[in-house]
Amino acid sequence: MSAPATQPPSHGVAVPAAIGVVVAAVVAVMVVVGLVVSLTEDRLPTGPALPPPPAPVAEVTFRSSTLQADYAGISARLPTLPYVCPSSPETVSPLLTSGVVCSAPVHPDYEGTADWTATAGFGAVADDLAGATAEATAKSFFDTFRGAGFGSRKTTLTDQRTEQTDVDGRQVALISGNVGYQVAGVPSTYDRVLVVALPLDDGGYAIYFSSRPNDTPKPTLDVLNQSINSLYYG
Protein backbone atom coordinates (compact mmCIF):
# COMPACT_ATOMS: atom_id res chain seq x y z
CA MET A 1 0.00 0.00 0.00
CA SER A 2 1.55 3.24 -1.13
CA ALA A 3 0.94 6.69 0.32
CA PRO A 4 1.77 10.21 -0.91
CA ALA A 5 5.19 11.38 0.18
CA THR A 6 5.20 14.00 2.93
CA GLN A 7 6.48 17.26 1.48
CA PRO A 8 9.09 19.19 3.48
CA PRO A 9 8.32 22.75 4.53
CA SER A 10 8.57 25.42 1.85
CA HIS A 11 11.77 26.69 3.44
CA GLY A 12 13.47 23.31 3.09
CA VAL A 13 16.87 22.81 1.54
CA ALA A 14 17.22 19.76 -0.72
CA VAL A 15 20.45 17.77 -0.41
CA PRO A 16 21.64 14.71 -2.36
CA ALA A 17 21.53 11.29 -0.65
CA ALA A 18 24.04 8.46 -1.02
CA ILE A 19 21.57 6.08 -2.68
CA GLY A 20 20.09 8.48 -5.21
CA VAL A 21 17.10 9.69 -3.18
CA VAL A 22 16.74 13.24 -1.92
CA VAL A 23 16.73 14.13 1.77
CA ALA A 24 15.03 17.51 2.37
CA ALA A 25 16.41 19.68 5.15
CA VAL A 26 15.86 23.00 6.86
CA VAL A 27 17.71 24.71 9.67
CA ALA A 28 16.84 23.83 13.28
CA VAL A 29 17.00 26.54 15.89
CA MET A 30 17.82 25.60 19.48
CA VAL A 31 16.69 28.06 22.16
CA VAL A 32 18.59 28.21 25.43
CA VAL A 33 16.68 29.92 28.21
CA GLY A 34 18.86 31.74 30.75
CA LEU A 35 18.06 32.84 34.27
CA VAL A 36 17.96 36.63 34.69
CA VAL A 37 18.35 38.08 38.18
CA SER A 38 17.54 41.76 38.67
CA LEU A 39 19.21 43.46 41.61
CA THR A 40 18.52 46.91 43.05
CA GLU A 41 19.88 48.79 46.04
CA ASP A 42 16.68 47.98 47.93
CA ARG A 43 16.76 44.23 47.14
CA LEU A 44 19.98 42.38 47.68
CA PRO A 45 20.44 38.65 46.99
CA THR A 46 20.46 36.30 49.96
CA GLY A 47 21.84 32.79 50.31
CA PRO A 48 24.35 31.02 48.07
CA ALA A 49 24.38 31.65 44.32
CA LEU A 50 22.37 29.06 42.40
CA PRO A 51 23.56 27.52 39.13
CA PRO A 52 21.44 28.23 36.06
CA PRO A 53 18.84 25.59 35.29
CA PRO A 54 19.98 22.88 32.88
CA ALA A 55 18.96 23.18 29.27
CA PRO A 56 15.92 21.03 28.47
CA VAL A 57 16.78 17.57 27.17
CA ALA A 58 15.29 16.79 23.78
CA GLU A 59 13.09 13.72 23.58
CA VAL A 60 11.93 11.63 20.67
CA THR A 61 8.22 12.05 20.05
CA PHE A 62 6.07 9.96 17.73
CA ARG A 63 2.53 10.41 16.49
CA SER A 64 1.36 6.96 15.45
CA SER A 65 -1.66 8.40 13.63
CA THR A 66 0.57 10.25 11.13
CA LEU A 67 3.79 8.22 11.61
CA GLN A 68 5.62 11.50 12.27
CA ALA A 69 8.69 11.25 14.51
CA ASP A 70 10.55 14.30 15.87
CA TYR A 71 13.80 14.72 17.75
CA ALA A 72 15.70 17.92 18.59
CA GLY A 73 14.26 19.81 15.63
CA ILE A 74 14.63 16.96 13.12
CA SER A 75 11.60 15.17 11.74
CA ALA A 76 10.91 12.05 9.73
CA ARG A 77 7.75 10.36 8.58
CA LEU A 78 8.15 6.62 9.09
CA PRO A 79 6.92 4.35 6.27
CA THR A 80 3.30 3.32 5.91
CA LEU A 81 1.92 -0.19 5.37
CA PRO A 82 3.19 -2.82 4.85
CA TYR A 83 5.56 -1.44 7.51
CA VAL A 84 4.30 -1.78 11.06
CA CYS A 85 5.51 0.66 13.71
CA PRO A 86 5.28 0.68 17.53
CA SER A 87 2.83 3.06 19.18
CA SER A 88 5.53 5.04 21.01
CA PRO A 89 9.32 5.53 21.06
CA GLU A 90 11.41 2.78 22.64
CA THR A 91 14.99 2.06 23.63
CA VAL A 92 16.52 0.00 20.81
CA SER A 93 19.71 -1.45 22.25
CA PRO A 94 22.50 -1.17 21.18
CA LEU A 95 21.50 1.37 18.50
CA LEU A 96 19.16 4.04 19.86
CA THR A 97 18.61 5.48 23.32
CA SER A 98 15.11 6.33 22.12
CA GLY A 99 13.55 5.85 18.74
CA VAL A 100 11.00 4.21 16.48
CA VAL A 101 11.84 1.17 14.36
CA CYS A 102 9.29 -0.14 11.84
CA SER A 103 9.39 -3.40 9.91
CA ALA A 104 7.73 -4.94 6.86
CA PRO A 105 7.72 -8.68 6.12
CA VAL A 106 9.54 -9.69 2.93
CA HIS A 107 9.78 -13.45 3.53
CA PRO A 108 7.17 -14.45 6.15
CA ASP A 109 7.78 -17.42 8.42
CA TYR A 110 11.13 -18.32 6.90
CA GLU A 111 11.94 -20.33 10.05
CA GLY A 112 8.34 -21.31 10.71
CA THR A 113 7.99 -18.65 13.40
CA ALA A 114 9.90 -15.55 12.25
CA ASP A 115 9.74 -13.13 9.32
CA TRP A 116 12.69 -11.85 7.27
CA THR A 117 11.93 -8.16 7.14
CA ALA A 118 12.80 -4.75 5.79
CA THR A 119 13.29 -2.16 8.54
CA ALA A 120 13.39 1.61 8.91
CA GLY A 121 14.07 3.61 12.05
CA PHE A 122 14.69 7.08 13.46
CA GLY A 123 15.80 8.41 16.82
CA ALA A 124 18.59 9.42 19.18
CA VAL A 125 21.84 7.54 18.59
CA ALA A 126 23.14 5.50 21.52
CA ASP A 127 25.84 7.35 23.48
CA ASP A 128 28.43 4.63 22.80
CA LEU A 129 28.01 5.11 19.04
CA ALA A 130 28.29 8.91 18.92
CA GLY A 131 31.61 9.94 17.38
CA ALA A 132 33.48 13.19 16.97
CA THR A 133 31.96 13.69 13.51
CA ALA A 134 28.81 12.72 11.69
CA GLU A 135 30.81 10.40 9.43
CA ALA A 136 32.36 8.61 12.42
CA THR A 137 28.92 8.29 14.01
CA ALA A 138 27.34 6.92 10.84
CA LYS A 139 30.15 4.37 10.45
CA SER A 140 29.90 3.26 14.08
CA PHE A 141 26.13 2.86 13.75
CA PHE A 142 26.46 1.02 10.43
CA ASP A 143 29.01 -1.44 11.82
CA THR A 144 26.96 -2.04 14.98
CA PHE A 145 23.80 -2.60 13.00
CA ARG A 146 25.61 -5.02 10.72
CA GLY A 147 26.77 -7.00 13.76
CA ALA A 148 23.46 -6.94 15.65
CA GLY A 149 20.81 -6.69 12.96
CA PHE A 150 21.34 -10.05 11.29
CA GLY A 151 21.19 -12.33 14.30
CA SER A 152 25.00 -12.57 14.67
CA ARG A 153 25.16 -14.36 11.30
CA LYS A 154 28.29 -14.16 9.20
CA THR A 155 27.94 -11.32 6.72
CA THR A 156 29.94 -9.73 3.93
CA LEU A 157 30.08 -6.06 2.92
CA THR A 158 30.19 -4.79 -0.66
CA ASP A 159 29.46 -1.57 -2.55
CA GLN A 160 29.88 0.62 0.52
CA ARG A 161 29.56 4.33 -0.17
CA THR A 162 30.09 7.35 2.06
CA GLU A 163 28.90 10.86 1.38
CA GLN A 164 28.94 14.07 3.41
CA THR A 165 26.51 16.85 2.64
CA ASP A 166 26.66 20.38 4.03
CA VAL A 167 23.26 21.53 5.27
CA ASP A 168 23.53 25.15 6.42
CA GLY A 169 26.93 24.52 7.96
CA ARG A 170 26.12 21.06 9.32
CA GLN A 171 27.97 18.05 7.95
CA VAL A 172 25.30 15.38 7.45
CA ALA A 173 26.85 11.98 6.73
CA LEU A 174 25.34 9.12 4.73
CA ILE A 175 26.74 5.60 4.52
CA SER A 176 25.21 2.80 2.47
CA GLY A 177 26.32 -0.70 1.58
CA ASN A 178 25.24 -4.23 0.69
CA VAL A 179 25.37 -6.59 3.66
CA GLY A 180 25.47 -10.12 2.22
CA TYR A 181 24.33 -13.34 3.90
CA GLN A 182 23.12 -16.88 3.32
CA VAL A 183 20.12 -17.86 5.41
CA ALA A 184 18.21 -21.12 5.02
CA GLY A 185 14.70 -20.44 3.78
CA VAL A 186 15.48 -16.87 2.70
CA PRO A 187 15.86 -16.21 -1.05
CA SER A 188 17.43 -12.79 -0.38
CA THR A 189 21.20 -12.63 -0.72
CA TYR A 190 21.89 -9.20 0.79
CA ASP A 191 20.31 -6.19 2.47
CA ARG A 192 20.94 -2.67 1.25
CA VAL A 193 21.64 -0.72 4.45
CA LEU A 194 21.49 3.07 4.68
CA VAL A 195 22.54 5.19 7.69
CA VAL A 196 22.08 8.98 7.87
CA ALA A 197 23.76 10.76 10.81
CA LEU A 198 22.40 14.26 11.46
CA PRO A 199 24.33 16.56 13.85
CA LEU A 200 22.49 18.38 16.64
CA ASP A 201 23.31 21.71 18.23
CA ASP A 202 24.21 20.01 21.54
CA GLY A 203 26.89 17.85 19.93
CA GLY A 204 24.73 14.73 19.70
CA TYR A 205 23.26 13.05 16.64
CA ALA A 206 19.96 11.89 15.29
CA ILE A 207 19.97 8.77 13.12
CA TYR A 208 17.76 7.65 10.29
CA PHE A 209 18.46 4.14 9.01
CA SER A 210 16.94 1.53 6.75
CA SER A 211 17.74 -2.04 5.78
CA ARG A 212 15.90 -3.81 3.01
CA PRO A 213 16.49 -7.16 1.27
CA ASN A 214 17.54 -7.09 -2.38
CA ASP A 215 14.26 -8.74 -3.41
CA THR A 216 12.00 -6.36 -1.47
CA PRO A 217 8.73 -5.82 -3.39
CA LYS A 218 8.39 -2.49 -5.19
CA PRO A 219 5.41 -1.24 -3.12
CA THR A 220 7.52 -1.68 0.01
CA LEU A 221 10.45 0.14 -1.61
CA ASP A 222 8.12 2.97 -2.66
CA VAL A 223 6.90 3.72 0.86
CA LEU A 224 10.46 3.41 2.19
CA ASN A 225 11.71 5.98 -0.33
CA GLN A 226 8.83 8.28 0.63
CA SER A 227 9.94 8.02 4.24
CA ILE A 228 13.58 8.81 3.38
CA ASN A 229 12.44 11.81 1.36
CA SER A 230 10.51 13.16 4.36
CA LEU A 231 13.64 13.61 6.51
CA TYR A 232 14.31 17.25 7.36
CA TYR A 233 15.59 19.78 9.87
CA GLY A 234 12.64 21.89 10.94
Write the DSSP symbol of residue 230.
Answer: T
Calpha distance 118→1 (Å, rounded) = 15
Query: Residue 132: which residues within 8 A CB-CB, separation 6 or more?
Result: none
- The listed CATH number (3.30.930.10, 3.40.605.10, 3.30.70.20, 3.40.1000.10) that belongs to domain 13-31+56-233: 3.40.1000.10
Calpha distance 227→231 (Å, rounded) = 7
pLDDT digits (tens, 9 = 90+) for 89-146: 999 999 999 999 999 999 998 878 889 999 999 999 999 999 999 999 999 999 999 9
Enter the pTM of the model. 0.77
Q: What percent of the chain has pLDDT over 70?
A: 76
| CA 125 centroid distance within chain | 8
**Structure confidence at residue 58 (pLDDT):** 75
Q: What's the rounded mean pLDDT across residues 55-59?
A: 64
**Structure confidence at residue 56 (pLDDT):** 52
**Structure confidence at residue 41 (pLDDT):** 39
pLDDT digits (tens, 9 = 90+) for 210-227: 999 999 999 999 999 999
**Structure confidence at residue 57 (pLDDT):** 57
Extents of the domains making up the chain: 13-31+56-233
pLDDT digits (tens, 9 = 90+) for 11-53: 444 343 433 333 333 222 222 223 233 323 344 444 455 555 5
